[in-house]
Structure 1
């Protein structure tokens, strides 16, 4: 009733505890069967591995078959779990408490030990994580193994002892040596060796470790591909195939070690190369910026000089033109309308001067400026091309395509053509301005202009006024309006020069960003390699231990084995 209640309410913790407790109390196999069902269904993941040791010890006494089935279910439950190493520790503890009977056959359990051993040394764990677990595991495995499994277990003991000679009891090692040297080993060593090779190649692929595409084995090249290896080894007698394959595995492991050293050396070289190239790229960017600033200043000064020449031409010519309008005045002039007429004539003469005298100068000066600018920009592009070629040689590829934007020059030509084609002149109040001298003479003209004897006096006063008048305000206003478009154009020069150089600068900065990222990645890999060398070297050692295990089985004699290729 309690079990049904827990299951209906999905209270699996209580259901598992009930099965464990009732199994111990009643020693009924049905409760252990129920417990196995919970384990297979994944209901026991919240329990620590050693929780089930007492149940297993009891079940071993009750039923060997049920014991092995429950143990196998626990193994499968922990196969991919983070607490796998804790479970191995519990497994060792369990078998240290078990009473052994020589007549017992451990059908499933010896396969379990082999799987656990291979899981610990297939490159997933570091040596410091497994070195305290494997000695007890191997001793327990050898204790229960039948002849085929005993060969693997004792071969593993000797292989582990070759690399970690102080971790196993001397009696265990001597028993393994005696077994290996005294038995005719009927082990499918080639299959085991080929499985090891497959795991090594997969590990190398996952770790992005390149292995030489062709390795020589006794003068015979073998491509590191499973199919090719199988095909090539079929030329060899069956008795030699395992030996040849193990020799190839040894060559691959040694090759991986040398590749790792080459990788570290290459990372250091790559970082130094990136550092040098980055320095050159940054220097190139500074060169472009300096060149750009220099050309920008040169072009602006050249523009400003021509603009000031036009300004001087306007400001020096217009006052004389305005004063020359005194020739319009005579005693016959209509003094009531004379101020308006003089103002109109002044505007006509100024407009004519701007159109016929100033505008041709304007056109010539700025056509010359455009030619000068075009030469400067072409020179800039040549400089950029030279810089690009040098940087690409440094980069060892045509990575940079730094082209300047000559659309800027086209836009300038269009704007200059528009500004120099015609004069837009707005009529100004040159002689109708409210000044004391103009106010007096204009008032006198309106009051006295109708009296004939006063006309001579008025004419002379008007002439005198025009010839002595300060027209600087009007001249400044006319000049400002005439040069207004040039002023606007000048304010865009710096922006346009930035646009002209924008692509080269952007290309170089993009290259810098990519190389900084690349350098950072190389540095990260190098730091990881130096700070955690065990992440690479430990799996290699463990693969070598497994290779050594198979070599012990292949040789079958202690005296023939040479211990000369360890990397410790």
Structure 2
């Protein structure tokens, strides 16, 4: 046993024990200490150190401390550590910590033991930060110390300190090259514990794993790949990092199904419209190059195609040796792939991207792509010149007389238990009625596609979809829409005129077909031959026609068909003829080629859409700016109209009110003066004033009630009538404005309806205000000195009959000559008070009348301004950052080109360019 082990386990004392002795170690060590006094060669410190160990094991910690304090030789530092252990054992943790921290030594074992004791002490005191610090320090200094790294790992895991745990696992994997530590590291990565680390943190671990065992490297790399695949911000740095590590390394030429799957998934992710070229151009060449080197058997074809498609679009981005290897592999590899599924997945990605970017794939193109995925139904395209009986032939197959010589557009007949007609146009797909079907297909220029589902025995039994095309005429055959659907068809039946089969016009049409779709099987129907020839002549015509056709189309077959016969034999023979006309290759592979063709069409359409979008935004912004100017002008006109109508109506009312005021202020004083006629000699002098004042109030109130109010009422009715006329004129003006705007908008966008209830309110108010007037009693006779004297005189001399006549005359003169203008003004003000209030609310009422049109115009202005701002920002973004739109389309093309490369090397089916 080594000295270090004895010191660590505190069994140094065993060196002093005699093998055959049964004496207690305390006795033996005591005897040895006693003998040492007579032998200077014996180191007393060693004995005391050993005694301390024995006392410690027997829990006599004070004696142990006493003995260790006396050690002064090379064991002094170990003795110090043991003293700390004794205090620790007694529970005096503070003293123990103080002693441990006081010891300074270069002995790694002693340092490790002290560190472990401090680590245990700190955990006991729940000083986890201190425990973490001390364990990290000693692991960094002496990681080989037994169980040290395991203790650290357990501590980190228990405290969920995953960053420290991962760091330890990385450093120990690199240091020890132990599969066990690599296993721990991989388990951390799989659990997500390594998510906080940048990809390059693991470079040394990856390189070490590669040097230890490829399977270990594969497991570690795959774990990290999965980790960073779920961390968007770190995934691209990871791709750059791992491809950089693999470049030129031996591992990059080692086949790995597991890593190949990650390469494939990453490649598809990068070229799936998520990024601009600027971001991924530096990544893809190294990615596909390394993928090619590591591709498993199932992926080598795809990896080769990825290399070739990328290098084709970005020449010189990939080394020639890699390209040569890809070419060799792609031609030599087994053609085991699911091309249709890959194409569908690509198309779905394009559709999602288009929706996100607010652009739409042509609905007709989308319809074709959806139909190509149906491998249970074959597509038969019927074409021919006008007058060849094409529609009659198709009607006989469908079993219904649906088509007429005037039918235009493409019509796809499909068997279905119910009749359902769907129109596919620029606006999308929508179900239509029979009448709408004939309306649409009766137009000369009809770009729409009609899907016509109908119960059809022939289509059902032959599992066919019949695509009917417009008949060719002498004008612009290149514009016939059938040319856009040649790659939809699995076979084409060309209808010939029995009277003059295979004319120069027919050949011209057929040359167009062969130019557009050179591998489309074309066969021929001579329709209603029996109507022109006898049996023998008919056979000769068929034979001669077939010979002429075969000079141009060696593989074409010719069938004589009478749509009038309709016998079982005729239908069976026709069925056999049609079925034999389809290409013998795999339908799935043939459809894959067609699917890729239409996907490329969709991509081209989206490029055009971007240009259209830019033009459309320019036009829309310009149109909206023009409309905004018009709307603001209309709003200003409406404001001016409102002000002018309010002023006119208010002025008219004010004029009526002024006339009433002038009349009342003129008439009331006269009425009051004439009240003197009630004063007679017989009237009690003391009551003259009261009676006269009462009479004055009565006469004024009567005047207002019987004279002023009726005429005021009539004036108000006339005023309301005039206001109504003004309002009607305003509404007519607004109706014209509305019609003009709605015509520009091409929809009923504006209403601009005024609130005529204002007139009803005014009528009600006019009735209320002129319905009657009650004058609160007014004291018309002023308390003037003259009146006062007259009153006094009345009291003094009233009893004297000779004075009565004089006093009555004085009162009469006073009433007749008094100035009542101020009193008349007060009465008039009081009477007109409610009319004044009505007048003050008039401007608000007129505003209420125009409220909705104003609100509507202002709302439309706000909306238009927001639309202009939104579209302007959108247009600026499009112009400033075209890469954001075009780069994803380019990357979709890279992916598409990968699938096209696979089709190109597949000898079973010809790829469609």
The alignment's TM-score, normalised by the length of structure 2, stands at 0.57
Q: Is 1:302–2:302 an aligned residue pair?
A: no
Residue number among 329, 332, 336 corresponding to 1:183 in the alignment: 332
TM alignment of 1:401-412, pairs within 5 A: 401-412=751-762
Report the CA distance between 1:53 and its aligned residue: 2.0
Question: 2: CA distance between counterparts of 1:398 and 1:255?
Answer: 33
Aligned ranges for residues 76-475 of structure 1 at < 5 Å?
76-81=226-231, 82-96=233-247, 98-100=249-251, 104-146=254-296, 149-180=299-330, 183=332, 185-188=334-337, 189-215=339-365, 222-223=368-369, 227=373, 235=490, 237-238=585-586, 239-431=589-781, 433-475=782-824
* 1:528 CA drift (Å): 2.0
CA contact (8 A) 1:23 1:32 kept: yes
In the TM superposition, what whole-angstrom CA distance separates every residue of 1:127-148 from its partner, at most 9, and x where no partner exists? 1111112222222222233565
- Separation in 2 of the partners of 1:108 and 1:461? 131
What secondary structure, in the 3-state scheme, does the structure 2 residue paired with 1:427 have? coil
Q: Distance in 2 between matches of 1:139 and 1:514?
A: 53
3-state DSSP of counterpart to 2:747: coil
Tell me if structure 2 keeps the 8 A contact 1:185–1:553: no
Distance verdict in 2 for CA 1:43–1:184, change over 3 Å: closer
Structure 1 position 213, deviation (Å)? 0.9
Shift of 1:227: 4.2
Aligned match of 2:406: none
Deviation, structure 1 residue 332: 4.0
Cα separation, 1, equivalents of 2:752 and 2:827: 45
Deviation of 1:247 after TM superposition, in Å, equals 1.4
- Give the conservation status (yes or no) of the 8 Å contact 2:632–2:861: yes
Contact 2:754 2:851 in 1 (8 A): yes
Q: CA deviation at 1:354?
A: 2.0
Contact (CA 8 Å) 2:593, 2:903: kept in 1 or not?
A: yes
For 2:858, which of 504, 509, 515 is the aligned residue? Answer: 509
**TM-fit CA distance, 1:178:** 4.7
**Once structures 1 and 2 are overlaid, which stretch shifts more, 484-493 or 377-386?**
377-386
Asked if the contact 2:189/2:223 (under 8 Å) is kept, the reply is: yes
SS at match of 1:244: helix
Q: Partners in 2 of 1:215 and 1:351 — Cα distance?
A: 89
Alpha-carbon distance in 2 for matches of 1:209, 1:101: 41
Measured after TM superposition, the shift of residue 243 of structure 1 is 2.5
**Size of the alignment, in residue pairs?**
553
Task: Give how far 1:331 is off.
Answer: 4.1
The CA distance in 1 between the partners of 2:345 and 2:683, in whole Å, is 122
Kept in 2, the 8 Å contact 1:223–1:229? The answer is no
Using the TM superposition, give the Cα deviation of residue 43 of structure 1 relative to its aligned residue in structure 2, in angstroms.
Answer: 0.3
Q: Which residue of 2 aligns with 1:34?
A: 184
- What is the match of residue 454 of structure 2? none
Q: Report deviation, 1:297.
A: 1.0
Residue 845 (structure 2) aligned to one of 483, 491, 496: 496
2-side partners of 1:226 and 1:491: how far apart?
Answer: 76
Once the two structures are TM-superposed, the CA of residue 255 in structure 1 deviates from its matched residue by 0.9
Post-superposition Cα deviations, 1:425-452, rounded to whole Å, max 9, x if no partner, equal 1221112x21233223333333333334
In the alignment, which residue of structure 1 is the partner of 2:217? 67
Give the Cα separation in 2 of the matches to 1:369 and 1:536: 65
**2 CA distance for matches of 1:138 and 1:244?**
27
Q: CA deviation at 1:10?
A: 0.8
After alignment, is 543-552 or 516-525 more displaced? 516-525
Distance 1:19 1:299, change over 3 A: same
Change (3 A) 1:488 1:276: same
8 Å CA contact 1:213, 1:224 repeated in 2: no
2:685 paired with 1:535: no
Query: Which residue matches 2:429?
Result: none
**Residues of 1 paired with 2:373 and 2:771: CA distance?**
81
Aligned equivalents of 1:407 and 1:70: distance in 2?
A: 81
Larger radius of gyration: 2
CA positional deviation for 1:505: 1.3
Tell me what 2:205 maps to: 55
Match of 1:555 in 2: 904
| SS of equivalent residue, structure 1 residue 337 | helix
C-alpha distance in 2, partners of 1:112/1:161? Answer: 21
What's the CA shift string for 1:495-541, capped at 9, x where partnerless? 11111111221122222223333333322322221222111111111
Do the aligned residues in 2 keep the contact of 1:351 with 1:425 (CA within 8 Å)?
yes
CA gap 1:190/1:380 in 2 versus in 1, 3 angstroms = closer
Any stretches of 5+ residues in structure 1 without a counterpart?
Answer: none
1:124 Cα offset (Å): 1.1
Compare the two structures and name the one with the higher helix fraction: 1
Change (3 A) 1:145 1:414: closer
**What is the Cα deviation at residue 415 of structure 1?**
1.5
Structure 2 runs not aligned, ≥5 long: 1-150, 380-487, 491-582
Contact 1:50–1:87 (8 Å) recurs in 2:
yes
Q: Which structure's relative contact order is higher, taking Cα pairs within 8 Å and 6+ residues apart?
A: 1
8 Å contact kept, 1:148–1:186 = no
3-state SS of the aligned residue for 1:166?
coil
Q: Residue 306 of structure 1: CA displacement?
A: 1.0
Tell me the distance in 2 between the aligned counterparts of 1:365 and 1:157. 95
* Structure 1 Cα separation of the partners of residues 876 and 375 of structure 2: 36
Structure 1 residue 471: deviation in Å? 1.1
Task: Return closer, same or farther for 1:115/1:191 CA change in 2, 3 Å cut-off.
Answer: same
Distance 1:174 1:533, change over 3 A: same
> Are 1:392 and 1:399, in contact at CA under 8 Å, matched by a contact in 2?
yes
What are the superposed Cα offsets for residues 159-185 of structure 1, whole Å, 9 maximum, x if unpaired? 2222221322333334434544x5355
Kindly report structure 1 stretches of 4+ aligned residues shifted beyond 6 Å: none
CA contact (8 A) 1:214 1:224 kept: no
Q: CA deviation at 1:340?
A: 1.9
Rounded to whole Å, the distance in 1 between the matches of 2:248 and 2:191 is: 28
Match of 1:6 in 2: 156
Distance 1:444 1:69 in 2: 133
